[in-house]
Structure 1
């Protein structure tokens, strides 16, 4: 990976996702076709071997397919700017000034053991995060049943833009989990509400069987097989047609060229933006003058072209707001739609304004040299290549030597703020508030403490105040206006250097299965890393004729 509904009629999934009439027709064909065959996919973030543990709360390695065994109450359509859509909950209403959401459960939902989904199951699942902060915590503060078919979720303040937090909470069957420790239990026989159940496990392959009683309809395939394909062998397996679909880091250009009729490129523009992270809590990048200088010194258009060299398309240079232009074009202030252009003169002027000079290829202030290190994972060639070009550009434009540091524990270094520069996928396709809120100062923790968000440790009171107002409104026009105010601060303060809009680069083979979303203007994303999106994709596939 380049790096993340109703049941009243056969077209229910299409209706729930607000898809086009054509997509709904594909769904209808799916329901009518006989369940047949097996589809082979590469497991998301595939390891050399799989772990036989399907605990949806596990903090360690788990088997693939958890995200299609278990489901959330709500989901989002990242192909449509992250609009929130119903899933196990068919609808919701707000009360108490936006502090409480009452979610009505979809009728007819069953767990794979045949038991119906109840409000008690949902309350139990949501409560687990409140009672066990080590599971990741919860933004809501209280949850209770609101009758037999609804639950009420309460936040401490208006939370219209935080309902989407429920997308990450897997709903489990209470009677099965009541006596289990969610932190340590090893689950080899998972029971969920999703369209597939575990059929067979081996360290190299995991096979899922399609359910005939899934609330969203019957999948067209009898089995879904996850293959433990690594970066070293996935290209070979794809070219031999032994994998039908993956979102993985491969040479997609050559894959498509080898068989244009059956090999297709699918870019899941998921709102992510590949960015240079700047440690805002550590000198020299705690100074906005340095952040501006490095941003102006980088040629993100050249970097985007290099990063897209193995793709049939060129990923577009990013907006200086940090928002993906492919996902949020209608939400970005028009004056920030164009990318920041390399401006060496402006970069040098910013350093001068901050009192910095370059001495012996080192950034210096008040006679003190400030060495700069770029942390990049040595086992992620894609990111390492970008880091190398950024380092080269900074040397050419500003004359500053940046030390490139790689290793296996770079993720830990970044989370704990032990870096100057780093590169990663930032932003989000979960809505403009969520995309901006990842830079909320309230999420910034001291250097040395692991950050789950805002790992650049950006703090700006005006920015945070705007985010608080965004969270408390459901007025879309006001949300857009506030979002543009936040964008202006982001572009001016430069907490990161946005490079280019990205996503999950996928390839699909139509030799065995057809009905994949179109590459241009898809109604939903095809992404193995997102359960609800993968389910939607699978429910629209049909066996290839002949």
Structure 2
């Protein structure tokens, strides 16, 4: 039983992974699969999954993928190059369906088991987009001809290890396939229930839930110590961070000095304590030392960002804005900023800490504007926010900094799959171009260093705390879970292939 703490109080039956609707069924990535996976145990490298092999041409613009020959959909039909071409072509046909932020411009069938993907410019470091759960391989024989803006795909058929056996708003039951290409499972069913971070702790202790993503300050005493053999609490670095994003496409957040002032008065230590994530304050680059220590510039490596009130006030003065009655005023215009955040995550206290700090140190009154996760995601994609909290992460350094790519820029009102902050900067795009355009380590390292400086100094977004998957596991019934000291996949129910690998290795306890 998996307790899903970030999906609201009820589930919606919508397995259309490409559709523009923000509310989707939980853990659809156990039914549908991507072509590749990101290996967080190996520096965020992209590795084959449904693709058996992949190779770029010398220019880095055309990728040739050889597909596995043993993959079938859950209705028994084989997966072919036609299915892959159809699936990867969906975002090309209508940008509304490009929720995964793809940048390739064409896909073609070479033969029955080989597909080529073409980018308009070198894309050596953009393979991570093919790992997105928003870009799965779907069966052409079922999806072709459907109105993907309306169809909810209530009875999904995929290549993944599970099928839908029962759907209810309060519980989804998936059944393990016996013909899955990746192997056989000891477990027969996987159940998902909606819950909250507070409720799931009691459910874990009562043996009602066996797996949950939850940050639990004091878990060693309150959970692990009560049953050291079976109660596991683990932390895995994602490589990225949760960050404060500024909407750079609208005033006043197009002003670098104002962005710096707000970033310098973020009370990161208080925030991570409130979120029960002590010691996870982010450095100024948004790269996590545990994964990218060798790539982070020495001046940023291991750096903890403290509040700098005097520095922030100097930056505010340089911005040209005055603060009157809590509003930012300049050139006869006033601004009352809003901070948008995810209510489903219980982030109200976290947001309030930020709001109080800005008022205390800078006199700026920022309105706290929480929203359900699905609504917030829509606001972020369309640019309907001033300040918001968003996760920066991906496959390697290029995946993380892709959030700043000009190629992903969309005008306000249009949906942006990445670059929600609407950042437009020639130096940024040049560095990203060098990062993507070669496999030469010297060039990619240099470009990565330049992007670190841009994030730290120009502050298109400001990292708040390092992103980790905090996993609470009740191993009373199932053994074989990986550990942070020895893992090649992350036991996070949301990473698709990693979730599959975790479940494949589980055995009934005592057997």
What is the alpha-carbon distance in structure 1 between the residues aligned to residue 105 and residue 254 of structure 2? 34
- Which residue of 1 is the match for residue 29 of structure 2? 67
Q: TM-score, normalised by structure 1?
A: 0.84
Q: Which residue of 1 aligns with 2:50?
A: 88
**CA–CA separation in structure 2 for the residues paired with 1:472 and 1:455:** 23
Residue equivalent to 1:19: none
What residue is the counterpart of 1:24 in the other structure? none
**Pairs within 5 Å for 1:182-261:** 182-230=148-196, 233-248=199-214, 253=219, 254-261=222-229
Structure 2 residue aligned with 1:544: 509
- Residues 141 and 450 (structure 1), Cα distance of their counterparts in 2 relative to 1, 3 Å cut: closer
Deviation at residue 368 of structure 1 after TM alignment: 5.7
1:475 is aligned to 2:437 = no
Contact kept, 8 Å, 2:18 with 2:98, in 1: the verdict is no
CA deviations on 1:424-468 (whole Å, 9 max, x unpaired) are: 232103221121011123433334444332222222210111111
| Cα shift at 1:43 | 4.1
Gaps of 5+ in 1: 1-39
For the residue of structure 2 that corresponds to 1:269, the secondary structure is strand
Q: Is the partner of 2:445 in helix, strand or coil?
A: helix
From 400, 405, 420, give the equivalent of 1:455: 420
Task: Give the CA deviation at 1:244.
Answer: 0.9
1:110 and 2:58 correspond: no
Larger displacement relative to structure 2 (86-95 or 291-300)? 291-300
- Computed over aligned residues only, the root mean square deviation of the Cα atoms, in angstroms, reads 2.7
- Cα distance per residue 1:241-291 (max 9 Å; x no partner): 121112246677234354333221122322341222222233332211112
1:282 maps onto 2:247 in alignment: no
- How many angstroms does 1:81 deviate by? 2.7
- Counterpart of 2:368 in structure 1 is 404
Once the two structures are overlaid, the 10-residue window that deviates more, 104-113 or 180-189, is: 180-189
Q: Retained in 2: the 8 A contact 1:415–1:455? A: yes
Q: Secondary structure at the match of 1:64?
A: coil
Q: Residue in 2 aligned with 1:320? A: 284
**Structure 2 counterpart of 1:42:** 3
Matched pairs, number: 501
Decide which of 102, 105, 116 is 1:141's aligned counterpart: 105
Aligned pairs (5 A) from 1:265-280? 265-280=233-248
Secondary structure of the residue aligned to 1:264 is strand
Q: Which residue of 2 aligns with 1:508?
A: 473
Deviations 1:130-180 (A, max 9, x none): 224332274222222222221111112211122222223211223233343
Gaps of 5+ in 2: none
Match of 2:265 in 1: 297
For the structure 1 residues 85 and 315, does the alpha-carbon distance in structure 2 shift closer, same or farther, using more than 3 Å as the test? farther
Q: Which moved more, 1:59-68 or 1:497-506?
A: 59-68
Which one of the candidate residues 137, 157, 161 is aligned to 2:125? 161
CA shift digits 1:303-355 (9 cap, x unpaired): 323322xx5xx242112112233432232222112133322222222223334
Change (3 A) 1:203 1:357: closer
Structure 1 pair 279–228 and aligned structure 2 pair: CA distance change class (3 A): closer
Q: Could you tell me how far apart the structure 2 residues matched to 1:108 and 1:417 are? A: 43
Q: Residue 104 and residue 442 in structure 1: after superposition, are their counterparts in 2 closer, same or farther (change >3 A)?
A: closer
Does 2:143 match 1:181? no
Match of 2:430 among 462, 465, 474: 465
| Secondary structure in structure 1 of the residue aligned to 2:361 | helix
1:150 aligns with 2:119: no
Q: TM-score, normalised by structure 2?
A: 0.89
Aligned counterparts of 1:315 and 1:136: Cα–Cα separation in 2: 36
**SS of equivalent residue, structure 2 residue 291:** coil
197-206 vs 290-299, which deviates more?
197-206
Decide whether the 8 Å contact of 1:72 with 1:167 is kept in 2. yes
Cα distance between partner residues in 1 of 2:125 and 2:267? 34
Contact map agreement 1:84 1:164 (CA 8 A) in 2? yes
Q: Distance in 2 between matches of 1:532 and 1:93?
A: 21
User: Contact 1:54–1:66 at 8 Å: present in 2 too?
Assistant: yes
Kept in 1, the 8 Å contact 2:247–2:253? The answer is yes
1:474-517 deviation line (CA, Å, top 9, x unaligned) = 22342122111111122110112211102332211110112222
Q: Distance in 2 between matches of 1:426 and 1:128?
A: 25
Q: Which moved more, 1:268-277 or 1:40-49?
A: 40-49
The alpha-carbon distance between structure 1 residues 355 and 184, as it changes in their structure 2 partners (threshold 3 A), is: closer
Partner secondary structure for residue 483 of structure 2: coil
Determine the C-alpha separation between the residues in 2 that align with 1:202 and 1:425: 30
In the alignment, what sits opposite 2:306? Answer: 341
- 1:363 Cα shift? 4.2
Q: Is residue 2:22 matched to residue 1:57?
A: no
